[in-house]
Amino acid sequence: MEYTEDIREEVKQIYGGDFQMGEHIYMGMGKLNGRTVCLSVAYKIDYCFKKATQFVEEDNNLRFSHINKVRVGETSPCCRFDIDEVVLNN
């Protein structure tokens, strides 16, 4: 399984030294019966991706759609990382 280019760039930034743990959270989002649901929450995007993917692998009714990056204390995402179906099938 490979990350999209924008997720790879975010991972590089996290492990590049400027990362502040707890400043943002990453929310793995999906679709279940037409509703948007949260599949995972993590401080690092790679762990969020891993946990959301594990969840989706257990239930064929779920579809992993994107990851929201949210500043802690805020209610709206500051960044969205869309998940490509090809990425999930590798």
pLDDT one-digit tens code per residue, 26-79: 999 999 999 999 999 999 999 999 999 999 999 999 999 999 999 999 999 999
DSSP structural state of residue 72: T
**Number of H helices and number of E strands within the chain?**
3, 4
Structurally, how many domains does the chain consist of? Answer: 1
How far apart are the C-alpha atoms of 43 and 71, rounded to whole Å?
10
What range does the domain containing 53 cover? 5-15+22-88
What is this structure's pTM? 0.89
Q: What is the pLDDT of residues 2-33, one digit of tens each?
A: 788 999 999 999 999 788 999 999 999 999 99
Can you give the three-state secondary structure of 4-18, one letter per residue?
Answer: CHHHHHHHHHHHCCC
Q: Is residue 37 classed as helix, strand or coil in its secondary structure?
A: strand
Handedness of CA 35, 67, 25, 46 (dihedral sign): positive
